[in-house]
Amino acid sequence: MPRPRRPLNEPNAAPRENEAELRVNRRIRVPRVLVIDESGGRLGEFLTEDAIRLAQERGLDLIEVSPNARPPVCRIGDYGRLKYEKQKKDKIARRNQVLVELKEVKLRPKTDEHDMDFKIRHARRFLEEGNKVKVTVRFRGREMAHQKLGEAQCIEFAEACKELGVIETTPRMEGRQMFMILAPLKKKQPKPQRDLRAERPHDDAAPPEADDPTGEIDDEDDDDLDDQDDDDSVE
């Protein structure tokens, strides 16, 4: 008995790797398409074979740009150039993408002034690098009765970093821990310099001057922290 043949396009099947790309020329399987020319003008509906032949006569490709339309929309253009420009745009977008990490600084209600200064220095460095900082105060046993002390530590921490970051999440309890999140301040972009001589060619006055441009740290036992100032994480 012959095995039943599986459908070519299963509704719940995951898309294959090559299906994410645009279909071009003979890979377009529908019988009729709506054709847009290389200048953006609408040419109307064509049989797919006729549309491919029209694109080839112009030395270009037939590219399916809207496969879910009825009929699907195809554009006449240079597929190689279109693919190159898309890769170039994706590369620029990845280069300009800003990745923000969440660094963590851990405190205890008994953290002394020296260790607090040490952790504040790390938090300020994290904020300068554009990362967020999660300040966590951990309570053990009877320390749960001193939650006000943990909240005061968080406020003191935020005050020491106020010129670099702002409080994004106010101090709150989560189980036996209190946490607060600091977000870095957005840096102001310098204003572009205006060349007044270009605007007034006959003005002999000098142009005005340009405007001035304006991890994790653990406090488990508060031991041997000074020798690891340059690490993102200190145990």
Q: What letter would DSSP give residue 176?
A: T
Determine the pLDDT at residue 166. Answer: 92
Beta strands in 95-214 (DSSP E): 102-107, 132-138, 165-174, 177-184
Residue 153 has pLDDT above 50, yes or no: yes
> pTM for this one?
0.44
Average pLDDT value for the chain: 77
Nearest to 63 by CA among 77, 51, 53, 50: 77
Nearest to 232 by CA among 104, 98, 107, 112: 104
Q: What six digits make up the tokens of 61? A: 């490709």
Determine the pLDDT at residue 10. Answer: 40
88-92, 116-120, 155-159, 216-220: segment of lowest average pLDDT: 216-220
Cis peptide before 71 (omega within 30 of 0): yes
**99 pLDDT tier (thresholds 50, 70, 90):** confident
| Sheet of strand 73-77: strand arrangement | 42-47, 32-36, 73-77, 61-66
Rounded CA gap, 229 and 122, in Å? 7
Determine the pLDDT at residue 8. Answer: 42
Domains of the chain, with CATH numbers?
A: 20-95 (3.10.20.80), 102-188+213-230 (3.30.110.10)
Determine the pLDDT at residue 142. Answer: 87
Determine the pLDDT at residue 191. Answer: 58
Determine the pLDDT at residue 210. Answer: 47
- 146-167 in b/e form (b: 16+ CB < 10 A) is eeeebbebbeebbebbeebbeb
Residue 227 has pLDDT above 80, yes or no: no
Q: What six digits make up the tokens of 129? A: 């690098």
Of residues 190 and 62, more confidence is placed in 62
